[in-house]
Amino acid sequence: MSTPLPPQEPLSLWDASSEEADVSRRFAEDGASVDIAIVGAGFTGLSAALHAAELGLSAHVLEAEKPGFGGSGRNVGLVNAGIWLPPAEVRDKMGETQGAKFLKAFGEAPSRVFDLIEKHQIRCEVTRTGTLHAAHGPSGLRDLQGRHAEWQRMGEPVDLLDRAAMTRLTGTDAFHGGLLDHRAGTINPMGYCRGLARAALAHGAEISTGVTVTGLARKAGQWRVTTDQGALLARHVILATNAYTDTLWPGLQRSFTPIHFFQLATPPLGPEAAHILPERQGLWDTGRVMMSLRRDAQDRLVIGSMGTVFGDAKRGLSRRWARKKLAQLFPDLGPFDFDEAWHGQIAMTPDHFPRICALDEGLYTAIGYNGRGITTGTLFGRAMVDLIAGSPAEILPLPLSDPAPVTGAPILSRLYQGAFTANQIIKSL
């Protein structure tokens, strides 16, 4: 049995405020043999471990840091349906039959997350009042009107809101309209991640943290998973590292463009913030450089945008950007400051679709979540285990693919970072 590791410094507000306990524990299984070795203890890896354990498969999760250390613990916490692309574009790119299958799976994805939260009594500040996609200007509203028409054609519970309705639901008249997606909601993402870990452990999965996987080699029908603290033998391996993928598997790191998303959180504001997002929907806008906004269970305002944190919660460019943005949105808010600032990494693909890849016999990965980690990780973790358990590939929400390299990904990443930094500078003036 593994022994717990000592606590680490919080990496985000969600890490500091999660009601679910950290389950970090030492690696103590050198030479053991399992059905599935899983690299990465985020939404994908822990969803896979829980599902495998429920099916009676032995699973061991190997995490270099602690559960939720990557994008899962730094997420905005919006449990959104669908992906970035409008439904019509999904069907155009995938074909009518496959596109409809994909949209159905991702339309139901928030319910899959909420069902797991209920089933395992995960304490993660869950709300189910929907999310708001806010029109930053007339062009954004036209885009949302097109999306709404598609969702209505499909019979999905998505409402088109005019400016007055958006003002009522947000507390600001800054937005030209919006979409309210009743399928969606919000969570403390680290709480959800830790709750998945707790449930996986309770069902018999093993989780080791502070252990780095250094090599994968297949011999005699098994994978030898080498770490800096020993090795495991596994019939199957799942790489569940998404945007935090390194050079463990050749070429995989070049199959996406890494970008960052930063957030700052105020202290609890109490009644002063009661008019802001009064039903506690999470919000993101249609701007070219996206902005997000939430009010959490303790009445903190959490605001974010694309890019990295410059400075910290008390000083620096990102703090100036956040103060200016909140003051523009809510000029009557009164004095406020920030307690937490952090950023995480997102894996963007050229077509904005995620991937499930069969890298070798018995070796799978899911990658390129394009900022939709909660639902995509939950769905894909289970889907890869279902494949391993013998389900046909047709059960997947999209076909298996190869991890094609993104031409110029490092250059693109630097260009994006430059643009996002410029946006912070300009919007802070």
d(CA 144, CA 178): 7
pLDDT for position 2: 47
For residue 276, the Cα-to-chain-centroid distance in whole angstroms is: 24
Q: Which two tokens stand for residue 89?
A: 């574009």
pLDDT for position 5: 46
Of 27-31, 53-57, 94-98, least confident by mean pLDDT is 27-31
Residues 6+ apart with CB under 8 A from 330: 171, 172, 276
**Vertex 275: Cα angle to 279 and 277 (nearest 5):** 35
When pLDDT is averaged across residues 47-69 and rounded to a whole number, the result is: 98
Distances (CA, A) of 249 to 383, 384, 402, 420: 21, 18, 13, 30
Residue 1 has pLDDT above 50, yes or no: no
Q: Tell me the angle at which helices 189-202 and 109-119 cross, rounded to the nearest 10 degrees.
A: 60
pLDDT in tens, 309-324: 999 999 999 999 999 9
pLDDT in tens, 140-183: 999 999 999 999 999 999 999 999 999 999 999 999 999 999 99
pTM: predicted TM-score of the whole model, two decimal places:
0.96
Q: Tell me the angle at which helices 373-388 and 43-54 cross, rounded to the nearest 10 degrees.
A: 40
Mean pLDDT of the chain: 95
**If you count them, how many residues does the chain have?**
429
Share of the chain above pLDDT 70, in %: 98
Identify the burial level of 190 via C-beta atoms within 10 angstroms of its C-beta, where 0-12 means exposed, 13-18 middle and 19 or more buried. buried
DSSP 401: B
The pLDDT-based confidence of 30 (bands split at 50, 70, 90) is confident
DSSP for 155-179, please give it. Answer: T--EEEE-HHHHHHHHS-S--S-EE
Q: Tell me the angle at which helices 373-388 and 96-107 cross, rounded to the nearest 10 degrees.
A: 110
Q: Which two tokens stand for residue 178?
A: 């919006």
pLDDT in tens, 86-109: 999 999 999 999 999 999 999 999
pLDDT for position 194: 98
Among positive and negative, which fits the CA dihedral 59, 65, 71, 76? Answer: positive
Which of 7, 25, 78 shows the shortest CA–CA distance to 229?
25
When pLDDT is averaged across residues 196-200 and rounded to a whole number, the result is: 98
Domain-wise residue ranges, the chain: 13-75+190-255+351-407
3-state helix/strand/coil string of 3-22: CECCCCCCCCHHHHHCCCCC
Helix (H, G, I), strand (E, B) or coil at 89: helix
pLDDT in tens, 220-242: 999 999 999 999 999 999 999 99
Q: Are the C-beta atoms of residues 133 and 286 closer than 8 Å to each other?
A: yes
When pLDDT is averaged across residues 4-26 and rounded to a whole number, the result is: 84
Residue 428 has pLDDT above 50, yes or no: yes
When pLDDT is averaged across residues 27-53 and rounded to a whole number, the result is: 95
Tokens 């890494």 identify what position?
258
pLDDT in tens, 380-403: 999 999 999 999 999 999 999 999
Superfamily grouping for domain 13-75+190-255+351-407: FAD/NAD(P)-binding domain (3.50.50.60)
pLDDT in tens, 110-125: 999 999 999 999 999 9
Share of the chain above pLDDT 90, in %: 95
Residue 68 has pLDDT above 80, yes or no: yes
- Which residues are 215's β-sheet partners? 226
